[in-house]
Amino acid sequence: MADNADIAQIEIERQEARVLAHRAQTAPVGEVSASECLECGLEIPGARQVAIPGTQHCAECAGLIERRAVR
């Protein structure tokens, strides 16, 4: 039986999947992803570049930027 932490993790993963699917559907066609994050300069993994066309930030920096925007 799943405990509360397992249930919360499942919900987080579902929400992340919905966000990624939405971004993939609304991304500008043909927009090129950056190979390096504009915030921290670290390499953006190829899988992220494919999953989120036009991405300019690594996952960690994108999360920080999104959290700042919510405030």
Could you read off the pLDDT of 48-71 as tens digits, one per residue? 988 888 899 999 999 998 888 876
Q: Which two tokens stand for residue 10?
A: 């499942």
Torsion of CA 18, 42, 32, 59, to 10 degrees: 10
Count of domains for the chain: 1
pTM of the model: 0.55
Across 43-63, b (16+ Cβ under 10 Å) vs e yields ebeeebbebbbebbbbeebbe
pLDDT at 38: 92
Write out pLDDT tens, residues 10-48.
998 888 888 777 766 665 666 788 999 999 999 999 999
pLDDT at 45: 94
CA 28, CA 61: separation in Å to the nearest integer? 21
Indicate the pLDDT class of residue 2, thresholds 50, 70 and 90.
confident
The residue segments making up the domain with residue 35 are 4-70
